[in-house]
Structure 1
Amino acid sequence: MSTVNQAFTVKEQAMKAQKASKLLAILSTEEKNAALNTIADRLEQEYAIILTANEVDLDAGRKQNFDDAFMDRLALTKERIFEFAQGLRDVANLEDPTGIVQSDWELENGIQVEQVTVPLGVIGMIYEARPNVTVDATGLALKSGNAVVLKGGSSAIASNKAIVDIMRTALEDTRIPVEAVQFIDSTDREATKQLFTMKQHIDVLIPRGGESLINTVVENATVPVLETGVGNCHLYIDKEANVDQAINIFINAKTDRPAVCNAVETLIVHKEWLDANQDTLVKAMLEHGIHAHADEYAHSLIPGADEATEEDWANEYLSRDVAVKTVEDVLEAIEHIEIYGTKHSEAIITENDKTANTFLKLIDAAALYHNASTRFTDGGAMGFGAEIGISTQKLHARGPMGLPALTTIKYIMKGTGQTR
């Protein structure tokens, strides 16, 4: 397909979504919820079709020698399909974020003012390997009254197409217009670039994926961007950390799902704690297949560790590799995080509340933890039903973005003939 034809097709899809968003915005909460439940039922009924398509993507991935972390994000199972179907039902059960009067007052001239939440309009979603994003983004968009234009990565093209076909077919039996869900099924990068400039028809772009994708969207889009971030997350074990708690949290944060953005990539350890608990830490790392890239001090204490390089401190491994940094105090830990962190999720393990409060106040990140795993930076885990991404910026939305992040406000002014 030529670039000209591709541009026309993308524009046409964006225009269809925009038109559908006007119809979607006036639907009742009950009508939107019924549609989400219908989609969820259909996804479960047709799961075998999705798995067949997913195997096409996995086979292509194996031929291209994609790494284990990438293949894990790409892979679907019956259980995973049923999980994101349930996620749609969870979203349906959440409060509708639109039509809420956040504040109201009367002007001196008698005009009544209401500040009301409304949908953004049309959301352009640009993402990489994870087919579950196709469902999560669609569910959150539709519940919040937004149409969505989906552009997934080429590696998941068969899976995404199958999922979208099932969702659009399901919408034929609901009040939500089918055109409210658009999927750009081209693998041509020009199709993605076209989305960057559809400001007339798309209200916001949300990129979700690796650093390269996110930077490309942020640097080139003329459409407003809700920026999500990569997760170079840190866990700091303070000298006053409970040993069992510190080990359990570290193992969970590193190995529960190493390929996700809220997994810990750097372990920062107080030297006194490491000296006292070296054997326990090393045993846990060996048992769970964790490979260390350690600074000079930790390297001498952790058998088999590689010497850490500057690159390791900034690396989002998405595997069972971890960088290990030793420090003298919490301020040194904070300094390291401020240099190399991505403002995603950071954690401290300590029994000293004063030390914890220093960490929590001085670290600039979307989510901070005291004596808990970073794996909870997740829309589902935090009660949002699902998430459309995790924002590491500060304007409009920050952290896991659920339904409220997909709305804006308008002012409704009611008068009795007032003029100015």
Structure 2
Amino acid sequence: MSKLKASFFWFRRDLRLEDNVGLFHALQSSFPVIPLFIFDDAILESLPKDDARVGFIYDSLSKINKELLGIESALLIRKGKTLDVWKSLIKEFDIQKVFCNKDYEPYAIERDLSIAIVLKEQKIAFQSFKDQVIFEENEITKADGLPYTVYTPYKNKWLEKLHASTELTPYKTKDYYSNFYRITFSFPSLEALGFIISKIKVKPYNLTHIKNYHETRDFPALDSTSYLSPHLRFGTISIRKLVTWASSTNPVFLSELIWREFFMQILFHFPKVVTQNFKSAYDGIQWRNNEADFEKWCSGNTGYPMVDAGMRELNATGYMHNRVRMVVASFLCKHLLISWQWGEAYFAQKLLDYDLSANVGNWQWAAGTGCDAAPYFRVFNPEIQLKKFDEKGIYIRKWIPEFDLGYVAPMVDHAFARDRAIATYKAGIIK
């Protein structure tokens, strides 16, 4: 029996049919396209069975499959180690070419390189495209070609290049739907993939909140965030659509999208930041890393209401307001002198929008050890932050129902913790 001759499009961080660069090019190739998603055991094996992010991926794939069924095609789902899956697919199909969109994280780069080698051995072309960013790792550089490590000049160059480009033009994949392979694959249940439905859900995004983002972004009680971040992380919305919207609606929100790309190119050029300080001068800091203190922080029982409300929100929903993220991160690193790596790892377990480059970048910013970071002697006062951004206590009472019943005393005095942090950092700086 002859094997099906087809090209493949491999979904990864781009879970949509609309305005998908790699899919657009795949559908214009000479052979009908089989769309594929691989549940990667190398990633999944460390996750809980009810991981909400896996559930979100599954639901997003279900929507894609439903649309494909409407044109008599279907999404092929496989599970396993990606290299093993591709070796199996090579035996099963007469693969002509594999298309995908680029992923810039260290694991993904290594994975794609190994896949490309196996495909090349079988004379199968492997082509990847820029899709999850407007400008990738080497497109925004200094005059000497080196990467920026300070945000503001990066942002200025980014905006200058955007205005002179056509990067926001959408890719009209629907015009080429006729080139999907007319075939049916069975769509597995979430349980068949080894997971169960989570009580935590990813919320639909709301672009209308972007208009007043600059006025409302610091006030967690308003619940006026767009909830875009998980959708951007997994590519259920096009970055081109989002930047087009932000460019004409709110420059402050656009700046946040540029921060995302800044941290992504930092991770690409300086992969050591996954586990090490960007600024090695801070490698001498003597962290306390007290496990009992860390547990109080994780569970939201520090005695500082904004810190505790943030951690309880995270544990219950997978979300945390951005202003609150800064407060809880600063508290862990500065007040408790617990290394940012501990906090980064906890956020990686809990955040629905977990993105390695942003998580590492923002944690090092809060700790004062990253590129373009807050100075080490800047120590957020959680009580002042509470008065400024949740003056009526609406946010904290939502997550701390016992607040008015005699709340637990602060686990550490702010003035003492501030002085200790500054002295510890100062003593640890390697000159």
Could you tell me the TM-score, scaled by structure 1's length?
0.24
Q: Which of the two has greater helix per residue? A: 2
More strand by share: 1
